[in-house]
């Protein structure tokens, strides 16, 4: 599919416009506008640089082709041929990145996320696998410069998680983690299995973009707020005060809780953030279902009931079933090296959106 040159130019022109605007004293005096433009420029600059590299490679190809077709000197034609092949290889290497840059943009991509991981089929082994996934996402967050904060957790005696809710904070967190929603399957000999047989267990992962004040309006009368004494680790102070918060949204029946912070106010703020994200996701999902009822995305629906990935310990293999990608890098991936999978999923989604003609969420 041909790459849209006009869209490439829009990005480079906009980056130049913002650079010029930021050097204007009038912009510098308006801190809110200055920060907004700085944030936009930080997002556009690497894209503009890739586009300029790509355009330069295409330009060098044209110049070399012109010499090859019109120059009579054999040595110059040979040099032009070498330049043409080098520029062609560079442009082809950049094409996938350019497709990603030009793909319809999800307006939620820049946001932080609420990530929920729950043990599924497999009992204690599923809970232990949930702990492995938590470690994997913490490793990935560290590589990307994201901050992970636990909102709520329910641990097992062997150190697994029946469920855990985390906030992953950082610009672009949703763009990198949104394809992680679904059922993750592990095939291995459990530590709880004495016979050495390979078992299959599952965990569900849900990734919700963090909602802001404008996304969800909650009527205080729709909330039932319970305060209770936190349990588990946290020291004497946390166990002597009713700092934990449980919030029930009466119209939907959604219940969220937080006991991670010692401050009741902080726990309430975290619980409200999770509630808003769940309510917003519920609304967006209903809208998406109405729009996409006759279309299934190449990389899946993102539904938590869909099996998306298998981690096979015996073969050292990780397979993402949505795009048929298999990597024999199990240990690296479980330590957080997820970019190869996430990049492939992002490219597949971008190609799917380009074929369909529009993004699900639209552009900013």
Give the pLDDT confidence score for residue 301 in this predicted structure. 44
Encoded tokens for 274? 């999770």
Encoded tokens for 72? 């009579």
Give the pLDDT confidence score for residue 293 in this predicted structure. 44
* pLDDT digits 0-9 by tens, 4-62: 788 899 999 999 999 999 999 988 898 888 888 887 888 789 889 999 999 999 999 99
Angstrom distance (rounded) from CA 201 to CA 62: 55
Q: Cα 128 from chain centroid?
A: 23
Give the pLDDT confidence score for residue 289 in this predicted structure. 55
Angstrom distance (rounded) from CA 47 to CA 16: 12
φ/ψ of residue 258, rounded to 5 = -150, 130
Angstrom distance (rounded) from CA 134 to CA 151: 13
Bridge partners of residue 327, in order along the sequence: 318
Give the pLDDT confidence score for residue 100 in this predicted structure. 76
Q: Cα 255 from chain centroid?
A: 25
Encoded tokens for 46? 């690497």
Fold adopted by 113-210+292-356: Alpha-Beta Plaits (3.30.70)
The DSSP result for 236-266, as a single string, is: HHHHHS--EEEEEETTTTEEEEE-SSSSHHH
- In the predicted model, is pLDDT for residue 313 greater than 90? yes
Over the chain, what is the mean pLDDT? 83
Helix 74-102 to helix 31-70 angle, to the nearest 10 degrees? 150
- Cα distances from 214 to residues 102, 211, 224, 256, in angstroms, run 27, 8, 22, 20
Angstrom distance (rounded) from CA 322 to CA 184: 12
* pLDDT digits 0-9 by tens, 91-107: 998 987 887 788 777 77
Domain residue ranges in the chain: 5-102, 113-210+292-356, 220-288
Angstrom distance (rounded) from CA 185 to CA 145: 27
- In the predicted model, is pLDDT for residue 168 greater than 90? yes
* Residue 241 binned pLDDT confidence (cut-offs 50, 70, 90): low
Fold adopted by 220-288: Double Stranded RNA Binding Domain (3.30.160)
Give the pLDDT confidence score for residue 122 in this predicted structure. 85
Give the pLDDT confidence score for residue 364 in this predicted structure. 41
Give the pLDDT confidence score for residue 360 in this predicted structure. 44
Tell how strand 307-312 and strand 182-188 pair up.
Answer: parallel
* pLDDT digits 0-9 by tens, 317-356: 999 999 999 999 999 999 999 999 998 998 888 777 666 5
3-state secondary structure (DSSP) of residue 225: strand
Give the pLDDT confidence score for residue 255 in this predicted structure. 87
| Mean local confidence (pLDDT), 272-277 | 84
Count the Cβ atoms, other than its own, within 10 Å of residue 235.
8
- Cα distances from 329 to residues 320, 325, 354, in angstroms, run 13, 12, 30
Give the pLDDT confidence score for residue 361 in this predicted structure. 43
φ/ψ of residue 340, rounded to 5 = -60, -40
CB 257 within 8 A of CB 247: yes
| Mean local confidence (pLDDT), 354-364 | 49
Listed ranges 211-220, 223-232, 319-328; the one with the highest mean pLDDT: 319-328
- The residue among 138, 206, 205, 136 whose CA lies nearest residue 168 is 138
- The residue among 153, 158, 108, 100 whose CA lies nearest residue 128 is 158
CB 315 within 8 A of CB 338: no
Give the pLDDT confidence score for residue 283 in this predicted structure. 76
- The residue among 200, 207, 206, 205 whose CA lies nearest residue 121 is 200
* pLDDT digits 0-9 by tens, 72-128: 888 999 999 999 999 999 999 898 788 778 877 777 888 889 999 999 888 899 999
Give the pLDDT confidence score for residue 234 in this predicted structure. 40
Phi-psi region of 286 (alpha: psi -120 to 50; beta: other; left: phi over 0): alpha
* Residue 179 binned pLDDT confidence (cut-offs 50, 70, 90): very high
CB 182 within 8 A of CB 304: yes
């Amino acid at each position: 599919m041909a790459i849209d040159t006009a869209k490439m130019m829009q990005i480079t022109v906009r980056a130049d416009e913002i650079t010029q605007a930021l050097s204007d004293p009038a912009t510098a005096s308006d801190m809110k506008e200055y920060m907004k433009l700085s944030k936009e420029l930080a997002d556009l600059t690497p894209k503009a640089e890739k586009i300029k590299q790509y355009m330069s490679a295409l330009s060098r190809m044209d110049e070399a082709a012109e010499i090859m077709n019109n120059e009579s000197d054999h040595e110059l034609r040979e040099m032009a041929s070498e330049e043409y092949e080098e520029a062609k290889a560079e442009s082809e290497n950049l094409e996938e990145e350019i497709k990603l840059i030009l793909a319809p943009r999800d307006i939620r991509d820049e946001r932080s996320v609420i990530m929920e991981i729950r043990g599924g089929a497999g009992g204690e082994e599923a809970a232990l696998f949930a702990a492995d996934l938590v470690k994997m996402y913490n490793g990935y967050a560290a590589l990307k410069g994201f901050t992970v904060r636990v909102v709520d957790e329910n641990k097992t005696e062997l150190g697994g998680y029946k469920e855990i809710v985390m906030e992953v904070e950082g610009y672009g967190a949703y763009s990198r983690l949104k394809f992680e929603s679904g059922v993750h399957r592990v095939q291995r000999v459990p530590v709880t299995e004495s016979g050495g047989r390979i078992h299959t267990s599952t965990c569900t992962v849900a990734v919700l973009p963090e909602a802001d004040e404008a996304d969800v309006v909650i009527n205080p009368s729709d909330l039932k707020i319970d305060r209770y004494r936190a349990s588990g680790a946290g020291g004497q102070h946390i166990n002597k005060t009713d700092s934990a918060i449980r919030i029930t949204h009466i119209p939907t029946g959604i219940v969220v809780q937080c006991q991670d912070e010692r401050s009741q106010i902080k726990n309430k703020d975290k619980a409200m953030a999770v509630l808003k994200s769940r309510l917003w996701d519920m609304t967006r999902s209903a809208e998406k279902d109405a729009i996409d009822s006759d279309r299934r995305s190449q990389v899946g629906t993102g539904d938590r009931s869909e099996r998306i990935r298998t981690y096979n310990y015996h073969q050292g293999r990780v397979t993402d079933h949505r795009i048929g990608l298999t990597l024999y890098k199990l240990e690296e991936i479980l330590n957080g090296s997820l970019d190869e999978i996430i990049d492939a999923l992002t490219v597949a989604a971008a190609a799917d959106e380009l074929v369909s003609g529009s993004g699900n969420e639209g552009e900013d």
